[in-house]
Chains A and B, each alone.
Chain A
Amino acid sequence: MAGQPQPTSAMQVVLGAIQLPASFRLGVGPIIAAVVLVLIVLATATAYLYVPHDPMNMNALQRLKGPSETFWLGTDPYGRDLFSRVMIGGQVSLLIGIGAAIVSVFIGLVIGLVSGFFRTADAIIMRIMDALMAIPSILLAIALVALNGPSIWSVIFAITIPEIPRVVRLVRSVVLSAREEPYVEAAIALGSSMSKILWQHLMPNTLAPIIVQGTYICASAILTEAILSFLGAGVSTEIPTWGNIMAEGRMFFQIKPELIFWPGLMLSLCILSINLLGDTARDMLDPRLKKREA
């Protein structure tokens, strides 16, 4: 492999020198997952263009109706169109997932870099992170939603806070091992400043793992939102999400399972796809796996 130069792509800048082992096969799973995910994202993102009803419009006389030409998937306990709600609800669920992933990864990255590089800050930061990790995340999230009210942002915040320590630990461990790398020591010898070493040498090492971690956070955030809704601490019913559609429908599970089935199906497909892609990305990025394949 070493002999002939390989083509360079723009992705390389982000993912670094990821050499795909020659024997690495993508398999059909991740491809299906990617297609499903893209479809779900597109379908929910453009939902306002095609949904037949206002997802918020209630009609008490049309409650809990079965599927019909007007209501493709039937209606919910408020007489709202289930199809429209599921499609629009996906927007909010995905927003919460992506939002929580981005915010926790960003905050975790900054704290983790500081913690990994400055030994004085490390002890204090890690004690606080240990404490945050020790608090059961769902309880912390419920308490945070209770504190801030059930808005989308407060739910994202509540899901984000417990995820941060995990990102911090990940980033910190990557930094701790990367700072032992000879090329970092070479940079020190070359007189590079601390900030240059931190941002240009160490930080890029954390990108691949935190992108993977981000996908998992995204999936788990969507799931956590559903659980918060289930426990009565989710986003208000004014704004449909997969989670609160299911939470509202749980009482009708036996007489009208569609209320849980459709949002549940969308949610599970979506999370399944994200997780599968995350696994694939992890396998591709995992240096240990690479070593084994080589």
Chain B
Amino acid sequence: MTLMSHDFSTSILARGRSIAAAAMLAASTAIIPAGAALAQDGETITAVMHSGLRVLDPIITTAHITRNHGYMIYDVLVAQDKDFTPQPQMAEFAVSDDGLTYTFTLRDGLKFHDGEPVTAADAVASLKRWGERDSGGQLIFDITASLEATDDKTVTWTLSEPFGPLLDIVSKQSAVPPFIMPARVAETSADEAITDYTGSGPFVFVEEEFEPGVSVTYAKFEDYVPREEPVDWMAGGKVVNVDTVKWVAMPDAQTAINALVSGEIDYLEQTPIDLLPILEASPDVVVEVRDPLGYQTMGRMNFKHPPFDDVKIRQAALMAMSQEPVLATLIGNPEYYQMCGAVFGCGTPLESATGTESLTGAGDAAAAKALLEEAGYDGTPIVLMQPTDVVTLTAQPVVAAQQLREAGFNVDMQAMDWQTLVTRRASQSAPSEGGWNIFFTNWMVPEISSPLINPMVNGRGDDAWFGWPEDPALEELRAEFIAATSAEAQKEIAERIQAHVIDVVNYVPLGQYLPVQSRRTNIVNMIPAPVPVFWEVDKTE
């Protein structure tokens, strides 16, 4: 006990002393090396993911952790390579010349974890359930004439009018990929979570060991037959080299980093950039960017209520904001962030920076003030929602609030936990009555990389994403985009959309940042992909 009180009196800074004291103790105490006693089995990878897995139905939620879980235990018909090109995965595909009929042929050897073969009927049921939830899927089903299993191996999808991006949507990895489940599972209502977790993916979900929010264990699926092709982004052969993958959640980043350094875990999906020096100092740990596209962070205003119902005031807000302070605060190290005004993300085919000079520059508070003046802003307070419990979302509101205030906005920043925020942002009430004016969130770049899937780029009023812009011009542009047949035409329309989105301030892109993962050096061959996947990867001794 005297030792204990001594340690209390030792300040955090007076580290040398405590080490000396402890070293003296060490001389007389048999020390059990922590790592040795707790060493993991060589065939298991223990990974700390960005969040704890709680929801197991990858169709009902868009949460990334659940999507990642989907990729572990389910497979998809078509997947994208690093050029965003759809490639066969479970199925080869063919498109009729009129562009109305798509045929998917399941490859041989596909089996569910319960040993049953994967049939076309399973695929059809899964696609239908997905189509009820996914906004891209809804677009397709709006014009679907029929979707049926023409035999055990063939799925035939007939449209009433041509829809160029169908394969892009079916092969996308965000937000909801069409995972193939057994028909009996896929028949669950799309509003109810599934309770049977049988998939056909490269890993089997070990249900007994599942602790929601804490840990989830995946065992290698021995009967999985990978494709012949080498792995390429989300496409190619999914060869599993380890017996078990265990995801554990560590809400405290500090703890996770320490655990990685001491070898208690093998992999850390999301590494706070500020803490990289600790990891870089460790010879046993590799720090790397997994996905060169990364995330877009953005702010969204509420079009329904003053003052942001006025386009001029929205423009003023955009002028007031500048990406660098936001990104610098959020990420810190400039190596891992990038100013980017592109609505569809930088590094994507549709990238365009039109109209975002002030955003990527230092902002233009003077112009913002002038615009506010012109619009006759009366000082109506702006309710800015700030989540307190999501690390990647705490900086944006705080920095933006300061920028808006400097431009003359009256900002009422209201702190709340993320769950309150997601509830409140669904409220269309006036800001003073439980509504809101502006909030911030992050997207993976592939999730916003095209007008088809970018949730914000939607002008359907109450049916649009939170903020509910009523923007027929935008909808026209989107229709044009869907109808476009060539990549060049798409690119040209996308640029017009970019200009329009920034002009009406549909939302405010606040730049891009890169997710940094870290791993023990004996974890090799991780695929650079937007989704952290555990095929191909191996653990050496």
Contact = CB atoms under 8 A, between A and B. Distances in A.
Whether chain A touches chain B in the assembled complex (some CB pair under 8 Å): yes
Contacts of A56: 402
Nearest to A244: B388
B395 interface: yes
Nearest to B416: A149
A65 to B, nearest CB: 12
A108 interface: no
A252 interface: yes
A147 to B, nearest CB: 9
A241 B415 CA distance: 14
Given A57-B402, A63-B332, A254-B257, 13 more contacts: A60-B326, A60-B328, A150-B388, A150-B417, A236-B413, A236-B414, A238-B398, A251-B275, A252-B274, A252-B275, A255-B274, A261-B12, A264-B12
A261 B13 contact: yes
A237 interface: yes
A261 B11 contact: yes
Contacts of B278: 254-255
Nearest to B405: A56
B254 interface: yes
Contacts of B417: 146, 150, 232-233
Given A150-B416, A236-B415, A255-B278, A78 B329 contact: yes
Contact of B329 (A63, A253, A257): A63
Contacts of B272: 251
A60 B417 CA distance: 24
A63 B395 CA distance: 12
Contacts of B401: 238
B389 A232 contact: yes
A57 B402 CA distance: 8
15 contacts: A57-B402, A60-B324, A60-B328, A60-B329, A77-B332, A77-B395, A78-B329, A233-B417, A236-B415, A251-B275, A252-B274, A253-B254, A254-B275, A255-B275, A261-B13
A260 interface: yes
A9 to B, nearest CB: 38
Nearest to B401: A238
A156 B386 CA distance: 20
Contact of A146 (B325, B402, B420): B420
Nearest to B333: A63
By DSSP majority rule, is chain B's interface helix, strand, loop, or mixed?
helix
Nearest to B394: A237
A194 B274 CA distance: 66
A32 B272 CA distance: 42
A196 interface: no
B229 interface: no
Contacts of A255: 274-275, 277-278
B399 A78 contact: yes
Contacts of A78: 329, 395, 398-399
A60 B254 contact: no
Interface in A134-152: 146, 149-151
A79 interface: yes
Interface in A40-99: 56-61, 63-64, 77-79
Interface in B234-257: 252-254, 257
Interface residues of B, number: 36
Contacts of A79: 329
B274 A60 contact: no
Contact of B254 (A58, A64, A251): A251
Given A236-B386, A236-B388, A236-B413, A251 B329 contact: no
A58 B420 contact: no
Contact of B13 (A233, A236, A257): A257
A254 B325 contact: no
Contact of A232 (B324, B388, B414): B388
A1 B402 CA distance: 67
Nearest to B272: A251
Contact of A238 (B12, B252, B328, B415): B415
B160 to A, nearest CB: 48
Contacts of B324: 60
Contact of A149 (B328, B402, B414): B414
A87 B51 CA distance: 35
Interface residues of A, number: 34
B143 interface: no
Nearest to A229: B388
A59 to B, nearest CB: 8
A77 B274 contact: yes
Contacts of A146: 417, 420
Nearest to A233: B417
A261 B15 CA distance: 12
B332 to A, nearest CB: 6
The 10 closest A-B pairs by CB, nearest first: A236-B415, A60-B328, A232-B389, A60-B325, A150-B415, A257-B12, A60-B329, A261-B12, A251-B253, A58-B402
Contacts of B370: none
Contacts of A57: 402
A53 to B, nearest CB: 13
Contacts of A233: 388-389, 417
A59 B328 CA distance: 9
Interface string B376-405: 000000000010110100110011011000
A27 B48 CA distance: 53
A64 B328 contact: no
User: Quick one: which of B324, B413, B417 has the most chain A CB within 10 A?
Assistant: B417
B387 to A, nearest CB: 9
B115 to A, nearest CB: 44
B274 A251 contact: yes
A234 B254 CA distance: 20
Contacts of B327: 60
Interface string A256-274: 0110110011000000000
Interface in A116-155: 146, 149-151
Given A149-B414, A232-B417, A58 B398 contact: yes
A18 B324 CA distance: 64
A58 B329 contact: yes
A260 B254 CA distance: 13
A264 B254 CA distance: 18
Nearest to A58: B402
Nearest to A149: B416
Contacts of A258: 13
A64 B386 CA distance: 22
A77 B413 CA distance: 19
B254 A63 contact: no
B249 to A, nearest CB: 15
A59 B386 CA distance: 19
Interface in B319-337: 324-329, 332
Interface string A141-184: 00000100111000000000000000000000000000000000
A251 B11 CA distance: 18
B410 to A, nearest CB: 14
Contacts of B415: 149-151, 235-238
A235 B415 CA distance: 8
Contacts of B398: 58, 78, 237-238
A260 B11 CA distance: 11
Interface string B400-439: 0110000000000111110010000000000000000000
Contacts of A234: 388
Contacts of B416: 149-150
A268 to B, nearest CB: 10
B175 to A, nearest CB: 25
Contacts of B394: 237
A244 B401 CA distance: 19
B274 A58 contact: no
